[in-house]
Amino acid sequence: MPLNLPQNLPAVDLLKKEHIFVMDSLRASEQDIRPLRVVVLNLMPLKIKTETDLTRLLSNSPLQVELDFMKIKEHRSKNTPMEHMAAFYRSFDEMKDRYYDGMIVTGAPVELMRFDEVTYWEELKRIFNWARTHVTSSIYICWAAQAGLYHFYGIPKYDLPAKKFGVFKHTMNDPYLPIFRGFDDEFYVPHSRHTEIRRDDILKTPALTLLSESEDAGVYMAMARGGREFFITGHSEYAPNTLHDEYMRDRQKGLPIAAPSNYYPDDDPAQPPVMRWRSHANMLFINWLNYYVYQETPYRIEDIRNLGDLGQNK
């Protein structure tokens, strides 16, 4: 089954050009199937690009997925047209009575700020708490992973001496966990961040399980509540040119930035980047949808409020 997207969302036409099967809500309404309901809290500045990156991955599954987009009520996007936000995004207040099989919270360009300095921190905490009773399984990406780990478990973030920027090799601590089905022993993930979380803080927190890390990039993935929460520090969803675009943007701004590691052939920015993470990214989101959302969520979506930890370490 394809991804069920709102009519006229720009990602629909973009993905059809890539021969990815998506359908809008009008056609999906003709199928007598309860789709999985997934909400995306999109905190990234280039929202249409992030929408397309995520829908590209979520559509690569036999499951029908209905996608909604959530926004922070008091935050106005500077890089996305107001008409787009009004057409496709709803505030938490408008959505808080709904239940979702899955939730994805993206990164945000605020990582050098203290959490309590972020203007929407209080609203974000309410959304995080709401997810525990209204969502079967949630993925927190990059800064959102740091924010979730800090809010729920008191895990601090630390400034890095230089931006962690590039595509890095990772390994699994428990390769038999369903989230890793189909993974190679080593896999690559893009990272783009100025801060980190540390393995020692996770290992001394009994509620957390450290699932994957990198010799060069550090902690990549942690899990809580048997798979109801995943915290992912990298950007598996990135398109092939995203790191290049970030690199050129920072250079044009005169910022101190090195070329992304393990990205260009011979580390030469004049050459097209090598896409090393597509297979892993697809498997990550397929496995999450299948094993931690579809196989765990109740048919009556309102029964999510009665779920405990998934206890899915098998």
Active site residue 151: no
Give the whole-angstrom CA distance, residue 174 versus residue 313.
Answer: 9
> Would you state the structure tokens that stand for residue 119, as one six-digit string?
């203007």
Give the whole-angstrom CA distance, residue 82 versus residue 88.
Answer: 10
Give the whole-angstrom CA distance, residue 231 versus residue 223.
Answer: 6
Q: Exactly one of 229, 237, 280, 296 is catalytic; which is it?
A: 237
pLDDT reported for residue 193 = 95
Whether this prediction's pTM lies above 0.95 is answered by no
Give 75's pLDDT tier (boundaries 50, 70, 90).
low
pLDDT digits (tens, 9 = 90+) for 250-298: 999 998 899 999 999 999 999 999 999 999 999 999 999 999 999 999 9
Checking if the pLDDT of 10 tops 90, the result is no
Task: For the beta carbon of residue 131, count every other beta carbon within 10 angstroms.
Answer: 22
Give 29's pLDDT tier (boundaries 50, 70, 90).
very low
**For 92, which DSSP code?**
H
Active site residue 142: yes
Q: What is the mean pLDDT of residues 113-135?
A: 96
Is the separation of the CB atoms in 96 and 69 below 8 Å?
A: no
Q: Exactly one of 170, 191, 235, 280 is catalytic; which is it?
A: 235
The type of residue at 121 is: W
Q: Exactly one of 142, 213, 280, 296 is catalytic; which is it?
A: 142
pLDDT digits (tens, 9 = 90+) for 127-183: 999 999 999 999 999 999 999 999 999 999 999 999 999 999 999 999 999 999 999
pLDDT reported for residue 35 = 87
pLDDT reported for residue 87 = 85
Is the separation of the CB atoms in 5 and 28 below 8 Å?
A: no
> Would you state the structure tokens that stand for residue 311, as one six-digit string?
């206890």
Active site residue 30: no
Describe the crossing of helices 47-58 and 10-17 by its angle, rounded to 10 degrees.
50
Lowest mean pLDDT among 6-15, 48-57, 81-90, 121-130: 6-15
